[in-house]
Each structure stands twice: as structure tokens, then as C-alpha cells.
Amino acid sequence: MKYAQRLSQRLSQLALVVGLSLAPTNIGLAQSSNNTVSYSQFLNALKAGEVSSVELYQEQGLAKFRRKDQPEQSPPHQVRLFDRNPELIQLLRQASSRHNTAVRVVPSGSDGAVIGVISNLILGFVLLILFLMILRRVSNAPGGPGQILNFGKSRARFQMEAKTGVTFEDVAGIEEAKEELQEVVTFLKNSEKFTAIGARIPKGVLLIGPPGTGKTLLAKAIAGEAGVPFFSISGSEFVEMFVGVGASRVRDLFKKAKENAPCLVFIDEIDAVGRQRGTGIGGGNDEREQTLNQLLTEMDGFEGNTGIIVIAATNRPDVLDAALLRPGRFDRQITVDLPSYKGRLQILQVHARDKKIAPEVSLEAIARRTPGFSGAELANLLNEAAILTVRRRKPAITNTEIEDAIDRVTIGMTLTPLLDSKKKWLIAYHEVGHALLMTLLKHADPLNKVTIIPRSGGVGGFAQQIFDEERVDSGLYTRAWLLDEITILLGGRAAEVEIFGDAEVTVGASSDLQAVANLAREMVTRYGMSDLGHLALETPSNEVFLGRDLVPRAEYSEAVAVQIDRQVREIVMHCYETARKLIREHRAAIDKLVELILEKETIDGDEFRALVRQYTTLPIKEPAWKATATPAVSQPS
């Protein structure tokens, strides 16, 4: 109680000090209160010509003045002014001309600025002291004195799991990788047998694959199957601000691992440390080199038979230092790719095990609709569906939840529909434009649904195709398909122009246009699909800031660059004309569809096609197979 009181007193004193130092008005002017006179006294003195000099502090609403009869050394009188006083100005002017009163206006901020600086300094000082106090507090904490300053001694940042509890059962869809790793399990399980015969055991295995394909899971499963401890650390944790920390962490990690052998050491994101040395990018390069050298030393240091196996994961094997890949280090490389249809189905089955799913939901259909999804995305998809099911108070996950979850995972959360407005009209025409082309173009993947319900991330609506899963899995895109895809992408803008005119087009098509530019350019420069011939003119340039290719290689002259631009433009122009023409010829259908979508917000593929069929003689693109509605890839506007 007493203490609290004293504290609050101290605080209020402190506040007073800070308050004073922060408020410029009070400094130096406020103290001499015995000299303060009233406003009317001041005016009278002015009128009577008794005032020798006046200083006006307008900002502070103060004036200081001296009387003619006042002794030199005595402090000036001061008076509080009122806002904008024309009478005073008038009087001052008179006094200065008639009675020789010296009037000086002190510009605002002249001493205000100085005071501002001073008060900032004081504030800064206070903060510094506070910071120091906190530091001391921390360093005196029970964990031991001075701990916060103890960066150098690696406080081991790796994790150890005695039992991961993950088995090969939990990893689905990557059978080849599992088979290859089976051997590693066998070795970890009974390393003595191998040693007895004198077999050299792989020390390092590199798992290569895109994010979310189950690399971490796989490593855990190996440890789980073999029943050995699992040490893990992420490459990015090696790379610290302070030189030497990474190397000492590596040392610690392997020391602990040796104590616990046989065991498995997992290094995630190894590209963060194992990047090619000497590229000189991204600062902290020395540190990374030290860390990498330490890692190599450690790996060379333990003989193949100490019972430690190092598994590293990366999605960028191309940037790895060659020394890492030498025999005796990560000489086994296993690719973990995005799952194919079969893989997706198996992954879905694994993750459906612990979920209540309605009998009408077909995992096959979901797997077919999700080409290009990683294992992590599939797991996330089922989880989102389960969350939606709980929220909707349903007993089991139905197709509706699956469908909504896919949209949520791929596009974003739904927002409330727009009120009727010009914007809504425009979006409706734009999306129906995309959707119509999906329905009419010969090589296009058919429409799944089109909607004008907005979604997070600035998506006004979208038209969604059912991508052919075989094509996505195989990656074999044909020229005809690419051209139709570009045409579809341009369909939104084309509809805007056709209906609202050139002047009314909006920025809404910008991401469409970006995708068009990329696709068309790749057709010309990478796939040899233009009149320039079957030449790869560029290598993919996404490594600009990593590893080897500092500058994207351009294997052509200026003259060819001009030709490339022309070819790209030609492709885009041609597709755009096709889009415009189809939209113009189906204006009646479009108007009808827009009317419908404004009323219903969403039209599904079948309904859309049925309506278009009444208006056209062209063949309609139907989905090759028909399951409950679950989408694949969409054209957000």
C-alpha cells in the first residue's frame, strides 16, 4: 500500500518533469508569475505610452514588455494574450509610431525548436536508461548472469525427438522415395550387421523437392521406423548475425548426435548454408562459409559406421555447393516430387483416416480435381473442410465443404457479395467473358463455375476451369492449349471493351494481362512455339539472386530481342482478336448470363453450358468426366 503510493507519487513527479520539458510554452516564461499583469493593464500601459519595448510570442500566446520607468536589470512583465487580437495589433502600431515603443515579434519555433530538440534528447535519455535497466534485469535473471550477451555459445537450437511417432504408414504417395530410404532404416536398425561385413554405409541423403511434399515427414518416418532419435535443425538457423555461431552450432549438433548414435540428423533448408561459396551475395557470406566448412568437416570426421545418418532437404539443389554433393557426403539424392493422381489419392486417404467424411464424398474425385497440389496442401484442404463442417454444425464433411475448402485454399476467403453497383456489373461481364471462352474454345479446359462473390486478396470474382489432371501431372502443355489459355485470360478484358467501350476498361484485368505476357513470352523464348523457330532463347531466370546465374542468360542479339517482342505481341494480338470476336458473336448469351449471375452470384458449369447452348452453333466444351463439383484452377479477375 505504502509502496504503491510512493511509486505513484514518483511516477507523477516523473510525468511532471517530462511534461514540463515537453511543453515549450511553459519554459522560461512561466516562472516569473509575480511579474504577470492583466491584459487590460497591458493595453492601458500601451495607450499611455508607458511601454518601452514589447516582445510578442504568438505561438505561446504571450507578450513580454518593459515599462519606460523600469530599471534595466529587472525582469520584463508578461501578459497572457488572447487569440488573434486586431485591437492589440492596432495599438502596437500606434504605440510604436507615437511613443517609440519597440515591438518585436518572436517567430514561432525559434526557441520552440531548440526546446523540441532538448526535450527529444531528454526523452531519448530516459528510454536509454529504461533499456539499460531491462538489459540488466535480463542478465541478472535466474538463467545465469549476463545471459543475453552470451550469443556466441550456441544455446543449441536443434531439436531432439527421442521418438518421432511417425511411420512410413503416414507418408503416402511417394513410394519410390520410401523404397530407397528403406535401406537407410535397415541400416539404422542394425548397424552392427553392416559393420561386421564391412559395408560402407551412406552418410548423407539429400531429399530434393518442392515445399510441402513431405520431406520433413519422410525423415521423421525413417527415424520412427528405425526407432532412433531424431535431431533436426533448419539451415536458416545456422546463419546468424554473428560470425562463428553457425559453426559452433554444427559442432554442438554433431557432438550430441554422436552421444546418441545410432540416430538421424535432419538438416532442413540446407541451401541456406550449403549455397555455393564465393557468390558474394547477401552479406554474412563469411559466416555461411565457415558454417558450411564445419558441416563438411563433421561429415568427413565420422566414419561411415558411427551410426549417424544425415538427411538434408532442399528445394534448390541447383544452388548447392558442389562440395556437399561429393561422395561420402550427400551422395544419395532422392527426389520427392509433387504427387500424381494416385499419390494424391493415397495422401487424401491418410489424412481422411481421422476425419468424419460423408459417404457420398469421393476421395477419387477430390484427387482428380487437385492436380498440382502438394501433400501439405491436400492435408490443409481436408482440415479446412473439417473446420467448415464444425462451423456449419454438420455431423460430417460433405462435398459442399470440400468445394468451399478448395476455393479457400486456392483463392481466398469469401467476402460478402457486393451491393448492386457499376462495379458489380463490370465484374459480372468480365468473369462471364472468361467463362464463355472456357466453354467455346476447342482446346480449353472446361468451366467448373463462375462467381462474382468477392474474396480476400482483392479478388472480385473468378471463373474456374477443371484442369485436365493428366496434363498437369505430365506437364505436357500443347501449343493449341496455351493459345486457348491466353485467349481465355484475355476474355475478361475483351468483354469489358466489347460492352463498355475502350474508355471504360479498368485496372481489374492487370493480373490476367501479367499472366498473358508471361505465357506468350515463354512460348516464344523457351518452348520454340513461334515463327522464330524451335529455339530455346532463354533459360528460366528465376535464380537471379541465388547461386550461379547472377544474370539471366540471354542467348540472343539485340536484333533477335526485337523479333521476340514482335512475336509475343503477335500471339497476344491474335488471341485478343479471337476473344473479341467470340464475345461479340455471343453478346446475347452474355447479356443473359450476366443477368443470371447478378441474380445468383454463382453459376455452375452445367447450367452455364446449357444456357450457352441455346445461343450458339459452336461445339461446347464438356468436362471429360463428371463428378460432384470440385474445382481445380481458376482465373481470378
Q: Tell the smallest beta-carbon distance from residue 216 to ligand ADP (Å).
A: 3
How much of the chain is helix, strand and coil, in % rounded to 5? 50, 10, 35
63 binds, among Zn ion, ligand ADP, Mg ion, none (CB under 5 to 8 A by kind): none
Residue 616 and residue 593 in contact, taking contact as beta carbons nearer than 8 Å: no
How far apart (Å, rounded) are the C-alpha atoms in residues 373 and 379? Answer: 10
Residue closer to Zn ion, measured from CB, 191 or 448: 448
Contact between 581 and 436 (Cβ < 8 Å): no
Nearer to ligand ADP, 171 or 472 (CB): 171
b/e code 598-636 from CB counts within 10 Å (16+ = b): eeebebbbeebbeebeebbeeeebebeeeeebbbbbbbb
Give the other-Cβ count within 10 Å of 558's Cβ: 8
Q: Which does 460 bind (CB under 5 to 8 A by kind): Zn ion, Mg ion, ligand ADP, none?
A: none
CB of 215 to ligand ADP, least distance (A): 3
Q: Which is nearer to ligand ADP, 336 or 435 (CB)?
A: 336
Among Mg ion, ligand ADP, Zn ion, none, residue 375 binds (CB under 5-8 Å by kind): ligand ADP
Pairing state between β 447-451 and 462-465 = antiparallel
Give me the residue whose beta carbon is nearest to ligand ADP. Answer: 375
Min CB(504)–ligand ADP separation in Å: 45
| CA-to-CA dists, residue 612 to 66, 108, 447, 617, 628, angstroms | 93, 73, 12, 10, 21
Pairing of the two strands 62-67 and 51-57? antiparallel
- Residue 364 CB, shortest distance to ligand ADP, in Å, is 17
Residue 512 touches which of Zn ion, ligand ADP, Mg ion, none (Cβ within 5-8 Å per kind): Zn ion
Is 439 within 8 Å of 484 (Cβ atoms)? no
Pair 309, 202: CB distance under 8 Å: yes
- Look-up of cell digits 517482342: 565
d(CA 266, CA 217): 11
Residue 5 C-alpha from the chain's centroid: 49
Angle, helix 2-22 to helix 110-139, in steps of 10 degrees: 150
Q: Choose the catalytic residue: 401, 431, 485, 496.
A: 431
Which of 214, 636 has the CB closer to ligand ADP? 214
Do residues 500 and 463 touch, judged by C-beta distance below 8 A? Answer: no
Question: What residue is closest to Zn ion based on CB?
Answer: 492
- Residue 607 known to be catalytic: no
Task: Identify whether the C-beta of residue 230 lies closer than 8 Å to the C-beta of residue 266.
Answer: yes
* Pairing mode, strands 62-67 and 230-234: unpaired
> Shortest gap between Cβ of 522 and ligand ADP (angstroms)?
26
Chosen from ligand ADP, Zn ion, Mg ion, none, partner binding at 307 (C-beta under 5 to 8 Å by type):
none
Q: Give least dist CB 308 to ligand ADP, A.
A: 21
Whether residue 203 contacts residue 214, with contact meaning beta carbons closer than 8 Å, is answered with: no
Q: For ligand ADP, give the closer residue by CB, 220 or 609.
A: 220
376 binds, among Zn ion, Mg ion, ligand ADP, none (CB under 5 to 8 A by kind): ligand ADP
Binding partner of 492, given Mg ion, ligand ADP, Zn ion, none, CB within 5-8 angstroms per partner class: Zn ion
Which positions lie near ligand ADP, rule CB under 6 A?
A: 171-174, 211-217, 313, 347, 350, 375-376, 379
Residue with smaller CB distance to ligand ADP, 175 or 300: 175
Q: How far is the CB of 369 from ligand ADP (least distance, A)?
A: 18
Strand order through the sheet with 633-636 = 602-604, 447-451, 462-465, 633-636
- Which of ligand ADP, Zn ion, Mg ion, none has residue 418 at its interface (CB below 5 to 8 Å by kind)? none
The footprint of Mg ion (CB under 5 A) covers 216
- Residue nearest Mg ion by beta-carbon distance: 216
Please name the residue that has the C-alpha cell 531519448: 124
**Residue 84, phi then psi, degrees to nearest 5:** 35, 95
Please give the distance of CA 628 from its chain centroid, rounded to a whole number: 33
Q: Where are the alpha helices (DSSP H) in 441-557?
A: 469-474, 479-500, 510-525
Minimum CB distance to ligand ADP, residue 547 (Å): 20
Work out how close the CB of 381 gets to Zn ion at its nearest, in angstroms, rounded to a whole number: 24
Indicate the residue among 174 and 436 with the shorter CB distance to ligand ADP. 174
Q: What is the DSSP letter of 530?
A: S
Name the residue nearer to ligand ADP (CB basis): 153 or 353.
353
Closer to ligand ADP by CB, 347 or 482: give it.
347
Residue 107 CB-half CA count within 13 A: 4
Element spanning 95, H or E:
helix 86-98
> What is the smallest separation between the CB atom of 315 and ligand ADP, expressed in angstroms?
8
3-state secondary structure 265-329: EEEECCHHHHECCCCCCCCCHHHHHHHHHHHHHHHHHCCCCCCEEEEEEECCHHHECHHHHCCCC
Tell me the C-alpha distance between 34 and 392, whole Å: 75
The listed partner (ligand ADP, Zn ion, Mg ion, none) that binds 605, CB under 5 to 8 Å by sort, is none
* Residue with Cβ nearer ligand ADP (336 or 497): 336
Q: Work out what residue 637 binds among Mg ion, ligand ADP, Zn ion, none; the CB cut-off runs from 5 to 8 Å by kind.
A: Zn ion
Q: Which residues bind Zn ion (CB under 5 A)?
A: 492, 512, 637
User: What positions carry a catalytic annotation?
Assistant: 431
